[in-house]
A and B are shown apart, each in its own frame.
Chain A
Amino acid sequence: MNAIIEARGFGVSYGGSAVLRGVDLAIRRNKITAIIGPAGSGKTTFLRCINRLSDLAPGLGVTGGLSLDGRDVYATETDVADLRRRAGMVFAVPIPLPRSVYENVVFGPKLLGVRSRAKLDEIVERTLRAAVLWEEVKDRLNVSGLKLSGGQQQRLCLARTLALEPQVLLLDEPCSGLDPISTAKIEEAMQDLKSSLTVVLVTNNVKQAARASDRTAFFLMGELVEEGPTADIFTSPRDSRTNDYIVGRFG
């Protein structure tokens, strides 16, 4: 099967008011799919439903179907902790835990019971390399994650998520607070990673979507307007609203 995430008629409401309505979307394996749309379009909500962080807010109601790798996300037997490992998330603001760079990266593996120092060392080096951070921090793995610069912190958060060995990487506006150089490094990491996993990138930056993604989905007011290859969306959108957004007429 080509799609790893499939939403069919998927809807979300909080305390009775609808945030997402009837979303039909298939996100393809080993591609970078960008989700764009103005504030309040429901794009972040959609992302947080994939790993069920949406559960943390009270009054959540879900309709329709959402599956990750063929398994229903909202089934009662879903192991939520396992789901969140399969769909790793990086947030808009980098939030290193108040501990060392090393301990930040091995947080997830240690929860799974990985104890071997050699194995942990290997994970730290591999994921920090994948997040284009290794060269900058390899000599100070024991300093607090909070001591790194903002761009480094975000890449640390990326490495920490990669240490979960996720199938899908959910990026929630990961570059919104970063300088162009850090942004380029994150985008570089995404390109290298897509051979082994699928990336879903929520972004407010239309240029980033055009630059870094293979496919683009456009959300507006809780609905999916259209989805297709990024080149098509940006050159010949089927829906006039997509065009309006891309050229900056609203949002």
Chain B
Amino acid sequence: MRIPPKVVHYSVLTFLWAVTLGTVGTLCVIIGWVLVKGLPAITPGFLFSAPEGAGREGGIFPVIVGTLWVILGAVLIATPLGVGTSIFLVEYTRENWVTRVIRFGADCLAGIPSIIFGLFGYVFFVVALGFRWSILSGALTLALMSLPTIIRTSEVALRAVPPQYREVSYALGATRWQMVLRVVIPGSLPGIVTGIVLAMGRSMSETAAVIFTAGTVLPDSVPTSPGDSVRTLAVHFYLLAVEGLSEKNAFGTAAILVLSILVINVGAYTLMHRFLARYR
């Protein structure tokens, strides 16, 4: 007997509802689980004191500071490169073989697994350039990883600026660069910032690429120079987890990671949403 199309339609729809709810439910479960188990561990003492006994006791202050350094470094390096790339693509050229090569490079870079970035960062920055395990090596490696995110997001942002604004600036005697600097960049700033914020989120959650470049040494004091070796939050959490040193501190660290990423992503999403709505 042939099943009536309406019955098929509603059964499939039920299935689709279920898998989608399952996907979003998984997200909620992960976040909820980490926060419920981890939030109690987060105390001022945990946040603002140095670790003891390889992280079994004490807090994670140097780890937090080290993470911020690495992320900040990565963003400082990747932003001019990525935003410059997108300005070139959108404002300074038409689609041709050069733009295809640039896009190909960015697409490939986006697909490379983080462990490969880790290997590369190790052999290139740590060994060949002699930067050793340091904030600098970690930041450079993460900068390369963040590049595609920043390029793509700022390209979307630049293209959202209405073309008439460019025409008006030219008609008012602006050179191309004056037009970019005074009209296009101010008009797309929130979108560009979104890309940078997303890149910070990715950098923060990254483990494999930083473990061989920024190092794993647990510092007992706050790092002070780009040459210092640091352990980032994600790496610290990984080591606490696999070495079974302290489940409580592992959960605490995980909760800080997840909370930060929650804030970063929600912030980036809201920013981009408002920005795109402005020109619609």
Contacts and interface: CB of A to CB of B under 8 A. Distances in A.
A111 B168 contact: no
A203 interface: no
Given A97-B183, A98-B187, A111-B178, A56 B167 contact: yes
B94 A84 contact: no
Given A97-B183, A98-B187, A111-B178, A82 B173 contact: yes
Contact of A84 (B164, B172, B182, B187): B172
A56 B173 contact: no
B259 interface: no
Interface string B168-201: 1111111100100011000100000000000000
B165 interface: yes
Nearest to B162: A95
B174 A89 contact: no
Interface residues of A, number: 23
Interface residues on B, range: 10 to 19
Nearest to B183: A97
Interface in A71-98: 81-82, 84-85, 88-89, 91, 93, 95, 97-98
Contact of A108 (B165, B172, B187): B172
Interface in A133-163: 157, 160-161
* 3 nearest CB pairs, A to B: A85-B173, A108-B172, A89-B171
30 contacts: A53-B167, A53-B170, A56-B170, A58-B94, A81-B175, A82-B173, A84-B171, A84-B172, A85-B172, A85-B173, A88-B171, A88-B172, A89-B171, A91-B164, A93-B164, A95-B164, A95-B167, A97-B168, A97-B183, A98-B165, A98-B187, A107-B172, A107-B182, A108-B172, A111-B172, A111-B173, A111-B174, A111-B178, A111-B182, A157-B168
Interface of A: 51, 53, 56, 58, 81-82, 84-85, 88-89, 91, 93, 95, 97-98, 107-108, 111-112, 157, 160-161, 164
